[in-house]
Amino acid sequence: MSLMTVIRQPPKPGRGQAGTSLVEVMVGLVLGLLIMAGASSFLLIHLVGARRLQIEARLDQDLRAAMDLVTRDLRRGGYWAGATSSTLTANPYAAITLDSSPPRIAFAYSRDNDNTLGSDEQYGFRLNTDAAGEISLDFLLNSAWQTVTDTRTMKLDLAQSNIERLSVTDTSTPPASTFVDQPIALNNACPNGCATTCQVTARAYRITLTGISKTDPGLTRTLTSTVRVRNDVVAGSCNP
């Protein structure tokens, strides 16, 4: 009986059992990289947009807070607590002075009933340039200037920011009221008539603030507010 050695060849793999070729691997890698690049680009655009919105919101918030302070405080200018009980003929808090270079406004209002203008009753706003060239809005309180705007996040554009008094000749938009800065006679102000001309003058001011973001210098915002001072200037005296 002879022994025969049988050598069997391994079966050839079928088409469904074939491995992945190098070309298919490379194509898969390229497609994966393209998808990752698109997702990364989308995420970057989203982050940049969110950051810009945050900067815009911060700039708007800083400007609105500064403008609100100016509007509310200037509107109180000329307030005299002792007006109805005083024997004085003139309001010691009535004066409002305005400088244009740089823009600066000074005013006063009463905080007590002593009929005396004190240093703690004098206020003002100015556009100030510090030693580093940064421009800010400052507030005068207790004889000391205090910075209102944060120069670390925003600087003011001095060329576009201004404080101006409106008059009857104002032709800007919105226009000033026709009675602003125009004396109006008070013919019946005194029971026995006026010894000198009795008149009242209304005052209004336009405040413009343009802020530039320190993070993104291309981002600017401008706010404009028209402030009608509640306390008019009354002039004249009555006959005894």
Query: How confident is the model over 207-236, as pLDDT tens digits?
Result: 999 999 998 888 999 999 999 999 988 888
| Residue in 131, 174, 138 with CA at minimum distance from that of residue 156 | 138
Range with the lowest mean pLDDT among 12-16, 120-124, 138-142? 12-16
Return the higher-pLDDT residue of 68 and 38: 68
- Looking at residue 90, what is its pLDDT? 79
The distance from CA 3 to its chain's CA centroid, rounded to whole angstroms, is 104
CB neighbours of 44 closer than 8 A, spacing ≥ 6? none
**What would the pLDDT profile of 178-210 be if each residue is shown by its tens digit?**
556 778 888 777 888 888 888 888 899 999 999
| Per-residue model confidence (pLDDT) at position 186 | 81
Residue 68 pLDDT level (bands cut at 50, 70, 90):
very high
**Which residues are 165's β-sheet partners?**
205
- Our separate counts of H helices and E strands in the chain read 1, 12
Query: What distance lies between CA 207 and its chain's CA centroid?
Result: 11
What does pTM read for this prediction?
Answer: 0.73
